[in-house]
Amino acid sequence: FPPKTKLWLGLQYKDSQWTWPGGYSTGFTNWAWGQPDYQTGNCAYMQINSGSKSEWFTDNCNNDHHYICQTKPCDSTKYCPAE
């Protein structure tokens, strides 16, 4: 990904806590300095910075960003079969 790419994580602030889809609570966070900023929104995205460093920020859930999906791992080194 190019630097400054924004990727929705699926993490959302509801009922005074950050949760993943399915209601799972967070065990790890990687907030940027000054984050989370609840005035900008209640959804979290990851911004890829130069090198391998990335940080989390908040934004309005209706804004357009790329996204990350979770899927089952496959045992092939070339491709994963369609589910």
Instruction: Tell me the pLDDT band of 83, cut-offs 50, 70 and 90.
Output: low
Q: How do residues 58-69 score in pLDDT, each as one tens digit?
A: 999 999 999 888
Report which of 16, 7, 15 is spatially closest to residue 63, judged by C-alpha positions: 7
Report which of 64, 65, 45 is spatially closest to residue 55, judged by C-alpha positions: 45
- Between 74 and 38, name the one with better pLDDT: 38
Instruction: Tell me the pLDDT band of 81, cut-offs 50, 70 and 90.
Output: low
- Between 51 and 9, name the one with better pLDDT: 9
Instruction: Tell me the pLDDT band of 41, cut-offs 50, 70 and 90.
Output: very high
Token pair listed for 50: 């130069």
Contact 55, 66 (CB under 8 A): no
Predicted TM-score (pTM) of the model is 0.78
What's the CATH superfamily of 5-67? Mannose-Binding Protein A, subunit A (3.10.100.10)
